[in-house]
């Protein structure tokens, strides 16, 4: 069965995370991705502290499986001309240099459109290609700070807290991939290419719509609530179980509270005037939390998770990443894609994460390993130099 983007070729001039994650998603959807690297290679090849993985760092593996790598020195006229020929034979160009770099190389959108009129050209940057912050440098944690995301994390009265993985890079890549697919669909109908200006800041603000729009409507910013949900309900938070593991509870509606009381065999809460409705539960949160803490410490977290979930109550045991990806049933969700990477330290048989999409066109569930630096240079240059 054909993948959704089979027959689409992507000239990938991006590096590190946001751009490569966008093209990783396109690759999973079936596109051919040709990764253009400098002679030094993508810096992500060397990310981390374990030097045994230099050239094939885990973070690099995560977003580059199945791509082809060609080394081109874009400061050299011969290689720059090869880059132009690659663009002429591609449907999509993705780049995430600082604004202005591609123009200085002669590969800005206007120049590229002259080479390939229907190209879908996607630029990814920190703050966009226009505006007062256009030239400000930005990486994931910086945009977490400047977008307001970091202000929402942490405990009330405590310092801001960053999200514990590069969420901005990842969601920006996902936003870019969505925009590219939409532009390709538009091109299919109109025959026209498009320029896409994707900013990490913009993508993050859009991602935080549930926090941003309440401010735009009321003029009041959301306050930091730690592990308590924005409902303010004491039944929406984190509780320790008998085994010292934590359970996250998401009981925010009246009927859910009633279900919880019955499941915990605390029907007395249903007639207790302190807990009769959401407002009273907020007013008497300390008392209800004390009773909840006592109940949850009578059983292990996994037992509570299973029992309450079967009762229709939103809850989940707080797992490590390792525990989460070992949950049974994931093998049918195309979330773990096996790879063999020769020469990798410790083990050569590894896995990468899929796109999280199941459908009739399916994302790839089989990929070649990430390319070594310049692995396909000879093959691609021979192809580019042919029939000039």
- Residues annotated as catalytic are 169
Q: What is the C-alpha separation between 177 and 25, in angstroms, rounded?
A: 7
Report whether 143 contacts 217 (CB < 8 A): no
Report whether 223 contacts 230 (CB < 8 A): no
What are 131-139's contacts with CB under 8 Å, separation 24+?
133/201, 134/99, 135/98, 135/99, 135/100, 137/98, 138/200, 138/201, 139/169
Q: What is the C-alpha separation between 60 and 49, in angstroms, rounded?
A: 13
E strands, the chain, where? Answer: 9-12, 32-37, 68-71, 92-95, 120-125, 194-199, 236-240, 246-250, 315-317, 336-340, 349-353
Report whether 224 contacts 154 (CB < 8 A): yes
CA distances from 345 to 58, 325, 326, 340, 348 (A): 11, 21, 22, 12, 7
Return the closest-CA partner of residue 117 out of 227, 195, 193, 55.
Answer: 193
In the beta sheet, which residues pair with residue 351?
Answer: 338
Specify the 3-state DSSP secondary structure of 47: coil
Report whether 57 contacts 35 (CB < 8 A): no
């Amino acid at each position: 069965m054909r993948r959704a983007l089979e027959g689409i070729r992507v000239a990938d001039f991006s590096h590190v995370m946001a751009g490569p994650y966008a093209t990783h998603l396109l690759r999973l959807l079936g596109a051919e991705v040709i990764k253009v690297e400098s002679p030094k290679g993508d810096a992500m090849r060397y990310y981390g502290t374990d030097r045994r993985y230099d050239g094939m760092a885990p973070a690099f593996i995560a977003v580059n499986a199945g791509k082809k790598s060609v080394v081109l020195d874009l400061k050299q006229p011969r290689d720059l001309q090869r880059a132009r020929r690659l663009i002429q034979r591609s449907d999509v160009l993705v780049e995430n240099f600082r604004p202005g770099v591609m123009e200085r190389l002669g590969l800005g959108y206007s120049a590229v459109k002259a080479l390939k009129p229907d190209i879908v050209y996607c630029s990814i940057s920190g703050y966009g290609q226009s505006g007062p912050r256009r030239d400000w440098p930005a990486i994931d944690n910086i945009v977490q700070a400047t977008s307001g995301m970091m202000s929402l994390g942490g405990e009330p009265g405590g310092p801001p807290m960053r999200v514990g993985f590069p969420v901005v890079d990842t969601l920006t890549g996902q936003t870019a991939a969505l925009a590219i697919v939409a532009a390709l669909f538009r091109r299919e109908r109109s025959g026209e290419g498009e320029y896409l200006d994707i900013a990490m800041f913009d993508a993050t603000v859009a991602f935080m719509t549930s926090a941003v729009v309440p401010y735009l409507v009321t003029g009041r910013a959301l306050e930091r609530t730690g592990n308590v949900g924005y409902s303010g309900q004491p039944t929406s938070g984190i509780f320790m179980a008998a085994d010292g593991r934590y359970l996250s509870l998401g009981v925010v509606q009246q009927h859910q509270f009633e279900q919880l009381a019955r499941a915990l065999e605390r029907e007395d809460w249903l007639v207790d005037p302190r807990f009769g409705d959401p407002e009273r539960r907020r007013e008497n949160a300390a008392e209800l939390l004390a009773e909840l803490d006592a109940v949850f410490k009578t059983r292990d977290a996994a037992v509570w998770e299973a029992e309450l979930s079967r009762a229709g109550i939103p809850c989940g045991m707080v797992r490590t990443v390792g525990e989460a990806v070992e949950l049974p049933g994931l093998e049918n969700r195309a979330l773990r894609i096996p790879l063999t990477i020769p020469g990798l330290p410790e083990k050569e048989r590894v896995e990468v994460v899929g796109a999280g999409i199941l459908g009739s066109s399916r994302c790839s569930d089989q990929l070649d390993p990430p390319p070594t630096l310049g692995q396909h240079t000879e093959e691609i240059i021979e192809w580019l130099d042919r029939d000039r």
